[in-house]
Structure 1
């Protein structure tokens, strides 16, 4: 099941001791120093494999991989991973770029183009907007239950992490534009950036380069969707996802007004984030923004997202002030064990890492 930030760091508690759209950033060849560091981390944590891409000054400066992508097969920077909920920032970016084209406003009523039959009889469906979907304020659960989709809270209220909210806005995009969200992603993001290893499904590609999953000592075939999801199971290399992050960081394809909206917390969670942690690592502002979680420390903003399913764990963060960030992909549910060691090894900001560590240890 995909994880929000807080649920991610709760899991981490177990291991705290242990360029322009037409010309994407040049991805360097495999970085030997990073490889060596990752090899040590894989050995120390027992994670099956980890693949990392580092961004500095708006460019990918290092890529590396260590461990096994399948039994007896080494992971390389070309290995693609299922990144679980790291799908959501990509979907959000597509929605924002469509809105920037003038296709719709993020405050438009989605009911004017799409209503899920399960909630058609609930008048609250008329209050749903793309903004609420991207900021986890739809009032939906994470996933619908056996009896279908239903509200568990009012739209626009307290945040509640929801994959269903992202699926809902994807239906809205298709109903309004006549194209699936993954098709719009190819047109607006993947194609212009020249990204060939990132996709919502493996249709028409070589599935052999996708990492298998290792859990409880046994290897399992990778999870590959036959139909795309806006919330889960994107396939990518660390380098391709990092190139996507660079594009987001540069604000490509997004109107100034929507960039301003993404720079602020849409759904406040500071009280929840800061509960029980030292004041010196508590962010001044924290919560969901459009497609990301946002943390502000004295004017320095960090954007973060995690992804976790039974076969994978993934983590990404970036900060616009230094135009830096890191993508961490793994092929096992205990991949969270690698996150803090990777961040510490690359010298990530001490206050940001301190917040993660403090939340993980509470």
Structure 2
């Protein structure tokens, strides 16, 4: 049953999240369903819309308290934009006043002008300013988000840079939330580095493997566990073999969400080697278990999660030598791992679900003033 009210006594409102496809295994989808369920529990009337049907649907919430809709039963890349728009427009026209969160520049371009006036449109961007600046995303955000009620980014730094350089007077920031908060933390004494994510080119796990192989030359008890699956698996196996660490780089495949906590409890360092990231939840999740991260400094979201030298270690993007040195330093020093990990957990409190839901309700309140 849904709660009767919301924080501060405000009545529940209509909140709609629209994604290109809402049920693919991915970060945008995970965040959308987590926030949708949280807002529904606070008494809001929440809807999640997929403009396309997911080719391989993934269930994020066992008992959703929100309504789910699919505009057209065709995967992304197929179907008709006009058909999806018309169906979403009919749904939105049937809803009482509230807010529609458009979760990407593509969704904004498809739906912004189909949102009725009584539903205030919010443009969300799950990437970083750094990544957007080098792609078509920057121009799309600059053109399409300026006319919306609010533009929501992942970190204060991202919001400030978009406000200044994309001339967005409506920029705001809401981080991605942690889905749960663990009661226990890792002892950080298992000699294991974790790399978590889809085995895709953008994650650059080859760089993490290289750094691990170099850092562990004299610490052969250490292992690197890569959790996830994807198209790079064969290439990454070959890369590990070429570096002579086949037996110490363990490819775990996809681990169910119900068991991922045990992986954090059995790890000591999280490695993040991506080309670009928005707000990588794996870093926040690791921190919630008291685990420090070593990460490429690729975005405001990463910098919001990892305070260099205080909660983890940041190194220049793509600098494998620096990544090697950072891993080596933490692998050699259990006391430092514990110190950074404790600070990481304290810092991750800011990304607990209830606090992120508060941020969303504050955004809604500012729009309604």
TM-score by length of 1: 0.29
Structure that is richer in helix per residue: 2
Specify which structure has the bigger relative contact order, considering alpha-carbon pairs within 8 angstroms and separated by 6 or more residues.
Answer: 1
